[in-house]
Amino acid sequence: MFKKNDRIVYPVYGMSIINGIVSENVSNQEIKCYEILFLDSQLTISVPVDRAASLGLRYPLAKKELRETLKELYKKITLKEEDIPDLEEFCQIKLKSGNIRDVIELINILLKINRKRIREDKKLNMNESDSLKKAKLFLASEVATVLGKKALEYYQLMGLQE
């Protein structure tokens, strides 16, 4: 269970903070909820405590684990677009997982597809481009929090997280 002022990672949106734990009355039932503040937008939402894990809320990775995981970022991959029949759905699943490895895999796949399309004089479509941006912002928020803002340049995530 998270505590007040804990920094957490919220899928798709990235680094957040537990502003508090409150009881809310929903259908005449008291439900404990985390009040979560998204650091990049100052938006606050409530999430039932018992749904936090299933939504993918988690603590940020430790420095060592994050550095190790980031070794996979920008890794060359072999991929055929037809390997992913529904790319839009695939992107949403990876983003919503909250798992940093899923997000890095998504970034690598979308960059690979983008390179292929550039050779064909094409671009990523709006949904794919938006998913790539969201994935990089999500990753940048954790990197900046855990490793510091200087790490953003090293991992080529500069300009994404302020």
Residues 101 and 146 in one domain: yes
Structural domain total, the chain: 2
Greatest Cα pair distance in the chain: 59
Confidence of residue 87 (pLDDT cuts 50, 70, 90): confident
Residues 49 and 86 in one domain: no
Type and span of the H or E element at 145: helix 126-147
Residues 30 and 108 in one domain: no
For residue 147, the tally of other CB atoms under 10 A from its CB is 18
Rounded to an integer, what is the distance from CA 110 to the centroid of its chain? 15
Structural domain span for residue 104 = 63-154
- Nearest Cα neighbor of 147 from 34, 58, 41, 68 is 68
Asked whether residue 162 is assigned to any structural domain, the reply reads no
CATH of the domain at 149: 1.20.58
Residues 71 and 131 in one domain: yes
Distance of alpha carbon 34 from alpha carbon 57, whole angstroms: 11
Q: What is the pLDDT of residues 51-82, one digit of tens each?
A: 999 999 999 999 999 999 999 999 988 877 67
